[in-house]
């Protein structure tokens, strides 16, 4: 069934950007937003959605695809709440930053039908600012859009396949990965950098006070290192809870590395650490990029 209507639950930065991107790249169907009334008003004013509804069940009515663009905790709750009530041919998908707990809940709700009813996704895109005010139609351009399929799920078939065609049209690169591997990888490449930035910014405030002109004095390096420290706790709370063990492991290994550097500031070991770090930039983007789904896309 062709996608004529898409519901986006959560019309903040990601949800609003998705609506704008779909419209910019040729989606002519209706986009229904679901959020609090003031947020929906701003989303409509920006052009991210055609219509806003505050009740999730009402917002899903008549849509072929429902996108959950809320913090992960709300994603899990909404799968439980909306899943049994959705039309059998409606595809439910999400953009949550962790996937194991999300997919576990989807399997519980949809049982043997999960491969046809739910698509677990995570676009690697965002900004330090939250809210639809910062939504951008080009946010997904060149970004990886991770998928963590259920066993046996043919993601390029049916409603999933048509939705993924739109994902590619808005500029994202589709990459398929096991949910557990995804969460471990993102603990290192996304969640750990956030915690480093948060810890550094908090330590600087404690050390120099809230009124010190640190960013101006520190220059570009400090601004880049602390930029994402402005990210909202409301989103990162759920990420930390649902990906606690992989993130703990990554933090522990980094702590060990920092301790090694601290203890070798006046030895050749520091030079070796710099040399090892320089290898990261030498790795080609092709070698380091996530693998595309091995299943062949079927012609239709």
Q: Quick: pLDDT tens for 11-57.
A: 999 999 999 999 999 999 999 999 999 999 999 999 999 999 999 99
Contact 20, 47 (CB under 8 A): yes
Q: Write down which residue in 178, 201, 229 finishes a domain.
A: 178
Res 28: pLDDT: 93
Quote the number of domains for the chain. Answer: 2
**Are the beta carbons of 73 and 242 closer than 8 angstroms?**
yes
Residue 297, in any domain of the structure: no
For the chain, how many residues are written?
300
Which ranges of the chain have pLDDT less than 70?
A: 1, 284-300
Task: Identify the helix (H) or strand (E) that includes residue 138.
Answer: none
d(CA 104, CA 60) in angstroms, rounded, equals: 22
Q: Which two tokens stand for residue 96?
A: 């949550």
Starting at the earlier edge strand, list the strands of the sheet with 144-147.
121-123, 144-147, 173-176
Starting at the edge strand found earlier in the chain, the sheet holding 118-119 runs 51-53, 30-34, 5-9, 65-68, 91-94, 118-119
Domain of 214, in residue numbers: 182-286
Q: Which pLDDT does position 217 carry in this prediction?
A: 74
Task: Supply the pLDDT for residue 107.
Answer: 96
- Would you state the pLDDT for residue 296? 40
166 & 20 share domain: yes
228 occurs within a structural domain: yes
Residues 15 and 163 in one domain: yes
DSSP assignment letter at 83: G
């Amino acid at each position: 069934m062709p996608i004529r209507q898409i519901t986006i639950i959560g019309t903040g930065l990601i949800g609003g950007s998705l609506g704008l991107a779909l419209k910019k790249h040729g989606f002519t169907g209706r986009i229904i937003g679901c959020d609090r009334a003031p947020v929906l008003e701003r989303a409509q004013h920006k052009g991210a959605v055609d219509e806003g509804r505050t009740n999730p069940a009402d917002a899903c009515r008549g849509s072929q695809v429902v996108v959950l663009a809320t913090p992960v905790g709300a994603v899990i709750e909404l799968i439980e709440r909306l899943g049994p009530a959705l039309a059998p041919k409606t595809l439910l998908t999400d953009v949550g930053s962790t996937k194991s707990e999300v997919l576990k809940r989807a399997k519980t709700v949809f049982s043997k039908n999960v491969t046809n009813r739910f698509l677990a996704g995570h676009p690697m895109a965002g900004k330090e600012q939250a809210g639809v005010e910062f939504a951008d139609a080009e946010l997904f351009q060149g970004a990886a859009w991770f998928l963590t399929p259920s066993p046996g799920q043919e993601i390029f078939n049916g409603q999933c396949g048509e939705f993924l065609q739109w994902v590619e049209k808005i500029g994202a690169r589709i990459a398929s990965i096991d949910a557990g591997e995804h969460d471990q990888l993102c603990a290192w490449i996304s969640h750990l950098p956030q915690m480093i930035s948060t810890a550094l910014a908090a330590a600087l405030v404690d050390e120099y006070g809230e009124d010190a002109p640190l960013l101006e004095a520190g220059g570009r390096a400090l601004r880049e290192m602390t930029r994402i420290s402005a990210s909202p706790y409301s989103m990162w709370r759920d990420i930390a809870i649902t990906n606690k063990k992989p993130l703990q492991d990554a933090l522990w290994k980094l702590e060990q590395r920092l301790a090694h550097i601290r203890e070798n500031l006046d030895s050749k070991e520091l030079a070796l650490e710099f040399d090892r770090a320089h290898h990261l930039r030498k790795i080609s983007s092709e070698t380091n990029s996530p693998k595309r789904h091995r299943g062949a896309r079927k012609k239709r």
